């Protein structure tokens, strides 16, 4: 890991324990976006998140985020005919 990546890992290690899951993804996405090319891989390595998680977070950030108390997406609708 290069010095800037070690600095990023240190910064996020301090911040992440104070954030919920959604907030961590948003911060990771913002960092990856700010880095430009290669940012997703660098943030994934620095945080231990999977590349696909960071990539999805960047996509969500690009689409625009709404302020929400939810940490995860709402569950999918239940299939008809099952127990309530």
Rounded-to-integer distance, Cα 4 and Cα 23, Å? 22
Whether the CA torsion 7, 30, 15, 55 is positive or negative: it is negative
Per-residue pLDDT at 78: 64
- What distance in Å separates the CA atoms of residue 23 and residue 71, rounded to the nearest whole number? 8
Model pLDDT, residue 56 = 94
Q: Can you give the pLDDT at residue 67?
A: 73
Q: Which residues of the chain have pLDDT under 70?
A: 1, 3-4, 70-84
| pTM for the structure as a whole | 0.74
Q: Over the stretch 46-67, which tens digit does the pLDDT of each residue have? A: 999 999 999 999 999 999 877 7
Domain-embedded: residue 59: yes
- Residue range(s) defining the domain that contains residue 51: 3-63
**Is 51 domain-assigned?**
yes
DSSP classification of residue 69: S
pLDDT value for 70: 67
- Domains held by the chain: number: 1
């Amino acid at each position: 890991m290069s010095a800037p990546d070690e600095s990023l890992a240190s910064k996020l290690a301090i911040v992440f324990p104070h954030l919920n899951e959604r907030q961590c993804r948003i911060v990771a996405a913002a960092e990856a976006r700010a880095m430009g090319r290669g940012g997703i891989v660098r943030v994934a390595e620095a945080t231990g998140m999977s590349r696909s998680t960071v990539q999805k977070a960047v996509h969500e950030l690009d689409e625009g985020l709404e302020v929400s108390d939810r940490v995860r997406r709402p569950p999918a609708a239940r299939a008809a005919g099952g127990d309530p």
